[in-house]
Amino acid sequence: MKRAALYLRVSTLDQHPENQLLDLRQLAAQRGWTIVHEYTDHGISGARARRPALDELLADARQGKFDVVLVWACDRLARSVKHFLEVLDELNHLNVEFLSYREQLDTGGALGRAVVIIISTISELERSLIVERVRAGMRRAKLEGQHIGRRPCQVDRGSVLRHRIHGHSLTEIAKVHGISRALVSKILLEEKQSSQKGCPQTPLQPAENTPSKTAA
């Protein structure tokens, strides 16, 4: 009789894994397997490779505590192909089978493992196509003259430089102008480089009237 471990995951805290649990318990009973442990991750995205319950499951698998892992669906285990295959490879190395209730995929055989890889690859391709469509839309908007991303920050460079000359710290200047310390440093560095080339970018103070020559 095989020892089975159930892995369940819900993405948000207000979701409940009971539906997944009932289906998996019924599947284990039909196969005549004994459930030795149930692992549940609450409110954790499948995109995260490190999860408390999943980490515990893998640690127990290394100790040989069960023979097969049951999940309700493949995406409960992982969403990225890389992570999904990493987990399957480790389970396979440990001689632990993997079975998905929804897809009816069983890595106990070579065909089942091949199907899992194919489905995972198709899912990854679908996500890649979505990303590419978004990028294409951004390129089109840029060609049409639409602004993409954050609006450039409008900063009084002269005021920044004057504050620095008067001895204010980067933090104080950033707070006064509502900008980051990094931007303050960038402005000061650009001014320094420009001054070294003999062409200051921003006048530090208004130009004074040239005094008239005293009559001899």
Is 11 catalytic? The answer is yes
Whether residue 34 lies inside any domain: the answer is yes
CA distance readout (Å), 141 to 110, 132, 151, 153: 47, 14, 15, 21
Same domain, 120 and 162: no
Same domain, 10 and 96: yes
User: Which two structure tokens, joined as six digits, stand for 49?
Assistant: 């490779």
Helix (H) or strand (E) holding 112: helix 110-143
Average pLDDT over residues 3-20: 83
Q: How many domains does the chain have?
A: 2
- Is the predicted pLDDT of residue 57 greater than 80, yes or no? yes
Which domain, by its residues, includes 20? 3-124
pLDDT for residue 208: 44
Q: What is the pLDDT of residues 63-80, one digit of tens each?
A: 999 999 999 988 888 877
Q: Which residues contact 113 (CB under 8 A, 6 or more apart)?
A: 88, 92, 107
Which one is catalytic: 11, 80, 123, 159?
11
Q: What angle do CA 144, 147, 148 make, to 5 degrees?
A: 105
Closest CA to 22 of 46, 6, 43: 6
User: Which two structure tokens, joined as six digits, stand for 130?
Assistant: 């979505």
pLDDT for residue 7: 96
| 105-106 sheet: strands from edge to edge | 34-42, 3-10, 68-71, 97-100, 105-106
Would strands 34-42 and 68-71 be described as parallel, antiparallel, or unpaired?
Answer: unpaired
In this prediction, residue 61 has a pLDDT band, given cuts at 50, 70 and 90, of very high
Same domain, 176 and 93: no
pTM above 0.85, yes or no: no
pLDDT for residue 53: 93
- Is the predicted pLDDT of residue 26 greater than 90, yes or no? yes
Same domain, 91 and 180: no
Higher pLDDT: 140 or 198? It is: 140
d(CA 83, CA 121): 12
- Is the predicted pLDDT of residue 181 greater than 50, yes or no? yes
Q: What is the pLDDT of residues 115-167, one digit of tens each?
A: 767 766 776 777 788 888 888 888 887 787 776 666 666 788 888 888 888 88
Q: What is the pLDDT of residues 154-167, one digit of tens each?
A: 788 888 888 888 88
Q: What is the pLDDT of residues 77-113, one digit of tens each?
A: 887 777 887 888 889 889 999 999 988 888 877 777 7
pLDDT for residue 215: 42
pLDDT for residue 195: 78
Q: Say if CB 153 and CB 183 are below 8 A apart.
A: yes
Q: Domain containing 80 — which CATH number? A: 3.40.50.1390
Whether residue 141 lies inside any domain: the answer is no
Average pLDDT over residues 175-196: 84
Average confidence score pLDDT of the chain: 81
